[in-house]
Structure 1
Amino acid sequence: MATDYDAPRKTDEEMSEDSLEELKSRRNDKNSGKVDEDEVEAAESFELPGADLSHEELTVRVLPRQADEFTCASCFLVKSRSQLAETKNGQPYCVDCV
């Protein structure tokens, strides 16, 4: 809530009167805290586990291996050479897997 520091200050008596009036108005306006949302529209945006996605198509562009990359033999993620921890039996391992 923003505060106007330049506004004249109220006395304690005026503040208590204002707060009582505010409470009464809030009590009368019970639906003010509710959010209007279309349930059907909200349900369409959710993706359920196990949903049939056979009609969906993905387009993925595969890039060739870069000179400064390697594939970890443990987690099988493509990592930068700066994350190479060691090589065991000719297989590279990243710092996260060692």
Structure 2
Amino acid sequence: MNEWTADVDRRIWRAIDIAMNRNFLRAGDPVVILTGWKPGSGSTNTMRIVTAADVKDKDVLPPIVGISSIPSFASIESGIEPSDSSTSVPDDQNVRFF
């Protein structure tokens, strides 16, 4: 699986997770997904209907765009050290909304 399809799958599962946390979706609800067959504009040609599922505690996420499972958010976050210098905390003073 290439990185683009893994990224798209992670984004879709994250969106489903957020929608479930905000009570827009429940487990078992159908979700319509429009994607493209390759990165970039002009390639959106695929519609899939998947079932919303709670994947928070899963080690792998089911494939949507790709053909194989990908590591879940939980397994990715567990590999990040708390003292990792590449992470940052945004300064609330600099946040601006338009």
Q: TM-score, normalised by structure 1?
A: 0.21
Q: TM-score, normalised by structure 2?
A: 0.21
Relative contact order higher in (CA < 8 Å, ≥ 6 apart): 2
Greater share of strand:
2
Q: Which structure would you say has the larger Rg? A: 1
